[in-house]
């Protein structure tokens, strides 16, 4: 797992099993858990890019490992991966999946676990689990939250693969760009987001998570707290009123 700075307020976390198309295994789970702990403590990082090294974003759970575990072990591992996905949602940073190549099965669920998704025009998405005789082990609720209009059920029940352009059309990704410009465009988008104060980004992300979990109504309290105790918000309001640029 590679964690590296990209620019002011932006870092990149890269899956680092390129020879295995960044398939998810126990070692990858260990590395991601450690990396997420580090990221959460980075007070100067406001946006985290999540990418894969090599030809794929992530080809999903490691099939070779899956064939060697018992049913009980598989369930325990699935619960572990579900918790890792929730840890991304709980990060104070805005997270952005940068998808090049395949994002399949658990790899698609990893992309869905991020706040935003940008893909190259050669990206492919899919949930092939049903064609192998089982269901996706985690992330179905979040998938159905992101995709409305029956698109989530389509992916779940057919196992078919989507081209990046269709993924954009149905709302699975936010942007599609040429493969040669993916890294540069993602970094520029992240830098744009990172211009906002961390407090506002984190509060907004927390409110969205609360709404998704069935607990709406936190917006007014967070808004009041920002104006009551938020130094960054107060300074930016003053700068706006005085028509000066805020650092």
Residue 129: active-site member: yes
Q: Is the separation of the CB atoms in 109 and 132 below 8 Å?
A: no
pTM above 0.85, yes or no: yes
pLDDT at 223 over 80: no
Sequence ranges of the domains in the chain: 2-193, 198-241
pLDDT tens digit string along 102-114? 999 999 999 999 9
Run of H or E including 117: strand 116-120
The CATH architecture one would assign to domain 2-193 is Alpha-Beta Complex (3.90)
User: Of these residues, 129, 199, 206, 235, which one is catalytic?
Assistant: 129
pLDDT tens digit string along 168-220? 999 999 999 999 999 999 999 999 999 999 888 988 888 888 887 777 666 66
d(CA 232, CA 227): 9
């Amino acid at each position: 797992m590679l964690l590296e700075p990209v620019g002011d307020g932006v870092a990149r976390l890269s899956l680092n099993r390129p020879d295995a198309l960044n398939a998810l295994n126990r070692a990858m789970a260990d590395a991601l858990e450690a990396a997420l702990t580090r990221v959460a403590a980075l007070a100067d990082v406001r946006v985290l890019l999540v990418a894969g090294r090599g030809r794929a974003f992530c080809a999903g759970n490691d099939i070779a490992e899956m064939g060697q575990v018992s049913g009980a072990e598989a369930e325990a591992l699935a619960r572990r991966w579900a918790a890792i996905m929730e840890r991304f949602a709980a990060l104070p940073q805005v997270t952005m999946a940068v998808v090049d190549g395949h994002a399949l099965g658990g790899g698609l669920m990893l992309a869905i676990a991020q706040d935003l998704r940008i893909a190259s025009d050669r990206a492919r998405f899919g949930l092939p689990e049903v064609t192998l005789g089982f269901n996706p082990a985690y992330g179905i609720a979040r998938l159905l939250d992101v995709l409305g209009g029956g698109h989530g059920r389509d992916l779940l029940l057919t196992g078919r693969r989507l081209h990046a352009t269709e993924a954009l059309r149905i709302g699975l990704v936010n942007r599609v760009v040429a493969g040669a410009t993916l890294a540069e465009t993602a970094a520029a988008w992240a830098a744009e987001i990172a211009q906002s104060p961390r407090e506002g980004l984190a509060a907004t992300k927390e409110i969205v998570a609360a709404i998704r979990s069935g607990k709406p109504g936190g917006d007014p309290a967070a808004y009041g707290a920002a104006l009551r105790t938020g130094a960054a918000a107060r300074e930016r309001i003053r700068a706006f009123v005085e028509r000066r640029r805020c650092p």
